[in-house]
Structure 1
């Protein structure tokens, strides 16, 4: 017969709780000491690094002053059960979403965990006129079948591309390269949805010099609102800070899009070949980035590239001039940071520009989005593709001079 001393058991349990609380406090303080987060108000903190840079969260403490909970101001969509509609193979700083360490290859599981396991249907657009309900013959509404939420107004020829149909074609790449699904989730209440994978072969820039690693990344975005197409993006990104830049390689198809029409699924299947070609262009991309890394650049040349990207008219207002000067100062700071890491090169200049666009350039978030979610969405959707491509090509000119 075993006799349990409840006092001893209670003391042991309490000691374990205290030790856990102290460990959590120490880990939190360590992040502050490393410059990853900072206090911005009473119990409010801001993330300073990575994809989550700019996010603000609240730390709730108990009566003893110990961390009780971390409440994120994340702006992410929620599922019907109240959990965050996000799947990822590794957690973000806030620890939210459905995380499978090391990821999964099962597309059905990804759709379920991310809250993307819903269909979209079209219903007649109705309006009330003099007490009579009428139908607008040329317009339909797209509606989620799980919640009944309206997603947008579309024309009569619009054909929804279901999430499972649009994403499943990437399963071939998952199988071919033996990779896992990286992340998936809805944006703007399901009006847009995304899914992504990371390819296994990293790109090495200047292997004998800075030896910088860039990871091939493929993302698919499907639009259910009527304001966008089904599109696929092939892009490199740097694990060190998650800057993204599109291919600026000659003849590489880095983004293609399909309209929501009756033949869309057949076009998506045909696009597999184009996607494969784009992935193979990473070798060419590595060569061009290495050339940038081996090309010294003067500050004056860097400023000229900036002037080409953001020209300032002679008759610009004082406010425009002030904003231009502020941007230049921020870019100079970014350039100095990159120069310390990789030298004063054209590669450092490109990193400074992409870093500014991804993490610093002003964004206007929607009502349901934080600025950082808006920033990540802009990077995913390629809002700055033209600027990044222009910067890449402009800097390549310096490698030949």
Structure 2
């Protein structure tokens, strides 16, 4: 079985994906870097090629428009990018959280390296939380991730975790201001990112309000079925729709009681429960090559897109 996650560290309870090396709380950033695998540099060198014809002596020439990125520790190549590509170093990911953990009550929870060093991330608990109908607790987090292969802009994203089932959901309810994306064509400036994110701390109150309303919104069976048909349908060539029947049955089973927390008053028969059935499917049940492939999808790929679509659809119900 192939793996996306190369190294990872976590503090506190085992993460929902069950991966990583456990750390005791309140470790230094140096310890986090060492244990999470973020203790290397991304180096760069110009692209060179051999222009010698077959059988002729080698003739190495320089291609000045692009550069190769590689790891300082293993010397493994990471990607070929434009000379204008601005690299974000692994230590910058952790340093982003230094003042947040030292002065603002944030607490690093996970950090790691994916795809051999091509994707890097750290996740910190913000200290914000709320409960729906007393028993259903949701905690707030801030995710910072980047890639050096063109697959991901440097992204700072508020997200949430539903404690009872460890379902994750990006908080995207305030016009996109709760996520900041810095393209690699520009320089990553942490203070500017934090300043922009500072505006969106109000998104947590907005998110709490929306989740509470979703928990109050009772659904008829026909509404739940219509929701799933819309979410899991694919356009065909003849203006029709193809439905992902097996997936719809899985999600409906989670919604109707199979999922952890599905029987809580906040979730049973509600729009909130249906939304969490989708997030549970993406985070825990969706077919994937491995657990770490599922994590990559749930945070950055098709899984994240599906959860965002489900959030939009359920919000439309209220």
TM-score, normalised to structure 1, is 0.69
Q: Is residue 2:284 matched to residue 1:359?
A: yes
Query: When you count strand as a share of all residues, which structure comes out higher?
Result: 2
Q: Is residue 2:48 matched to residue 1:126?
A: yes
**How many residues are aligned here?**
305
Distance 1:226 1:315, change over 3 A: closer
Which is worse superposed, 244-253 or 280-289?
244-253
Q: Is residue 2:31 matched to residue 1:114?
A: no
Distance 1:106 1:132, change over 3 A: same
Q: Which residue of 2 aligns with 1:99?
A: 22
Structure of larger gyration radius:
1
Please give the alpha-carbon distance, in whole angstroms, between the structure 2 residues aligned to 1:152 and 1:389. Answer: 29
1:305-352 deviations in whole A, cap 9, x for unaligned? 122222355778xxx95x721112111101112553332111111111
Q: Which residue of 2 aligns with 1:214?
A: 138
Q: Which residue of 2 aligns with 1:149?
A: 76
Give the deviation of 1:106 after TM superposition.
2.0
Give the deviation of 1:389 after TM superposition.
3.0
Distance 1:295 1:95, change over 3 A: closer
Question: Please, which of 119, 123, 141 is the counterpart of residue 192 of structure 1?
Answer: 119
- Aligned partner of residue 351 in structure 1, secondary structure: helix
1:153-192 deviations in whole A, cap 9, x for unaligned? 0001112221222431222221233333111111011111
Please give the alpha-carbon distance, in whole angstroms, between the structure 2 residues aligned to 1:275 and 1:74. Answer: 35
Please give the alpha-carbon distance, in whole angstroms, between the structure 1 residues aligned to 2:285 and 2:268. Answer: 22
Distance 1:238 1:155, change over 3 A: same
Which is worse superposed, 86-95 or 190-199?
86-95
- Aligned partner of residue 248 in structure 1, secondary structure: coil
Q: Is residue 2:306 matched to residue 1:378?
A: no
- Aligned partner of residue 340 in structure 1, secondary structure: coil
Please give the alpha-carbon distance, in whole angstroms, between the structure 2 residues aligned to 1:386 and 1:95. Answer: 22
Structure 2 spans left out of the alignment, 5+ residues: none
Q: Which residue of 2 aligns with 1:336?
A: 256
Please give the alpha-carbon distance, in whole angstroms, between the structure 1 residues aligned to 2:88 and 2:193. Answer: 15
RMSD: 2.6
Q: Which residue of 1 aligns with 2:198?
A: 276
Give the deviation of 1:264 after TM superposition.
1.2
Distance 1:382 1:315, change over 3 A: closer
- Indicate if the aligned counterparts of 2:256 and 2:268 stay in contact, CA closer than 8 A: no
Please give the alpha-carbon distance, in whole angstroms, between the structure 2 residues aligned to 1:334 and 1:77. Answer: 27
Distance 1:307 1:142, change over 3 A: same
Please give the alpha-carbon distance, in whole angstroms, between the structure 2 residues aligned to 1:91 and 1:391. Answer: 27
Q: Which residue of 2 aligns with 1:57?
A: none
Please give the alpha-carbon distance, in whole angstroms, between the structure 1 residues aligned to 2:172 and 2:86. Answer: 32
Structure 1 spans left out of the alignment, 5+ residues: 1-72, 79-84, 366-370
TM-score, normalised to structure 2, is 0.86
Please give the alpha-carbon distance, in whole angstroms, between the structure 2 residues aligned to 1:272 and 1:149. Answer: 32
- Aligned partner of residue 231 in structure 1, secondary structure: strand
Please give the alpha-carbon distance, in whole angstroms, between the structure 2 residues aligned to 1:194 and 1:380. Answer: 10
Please give the alpha-carbon distance, in whole angstroms, between the structure 1 residues aligned to 2:108 and 2:180. Answer: 20
Which is worse superposed, 87-96 or 298-307?
87-96
Give the deviation of 1:77 after TM superposition.
5.3
Q: Is residue 2:31 matched to residue 1:75?
A: no
Give the deviation of 1:293 after TM superposition.
0.7
Q: Is residue 2:153 matched to residue 1:265?
A: no
Distance 1:314 1:138, change over 3 A: closer
Which is worse superposed, 160-169 or 183-192?
160-169
Q: Which has the higher contact order (CA 8 A, sep 6+)?
A: 2
Please give the alpha-carbon distance, in whole angstroms, between the structure 1 residues aligned to 2:181 and 2:74. Answer: 27
Q: Which residue of 2 aligns with 1:225?
A: 149
- Indicate if the aligned counterparts of 2:232 and 2:248 stay in contact, CA closer than 8 A: no
1:48-97 deviations in whole A, cap 9, x for unaligned? xxxxxxxxxxxxxxxxxxxxxxxxx783655xxxxxx3221146499975
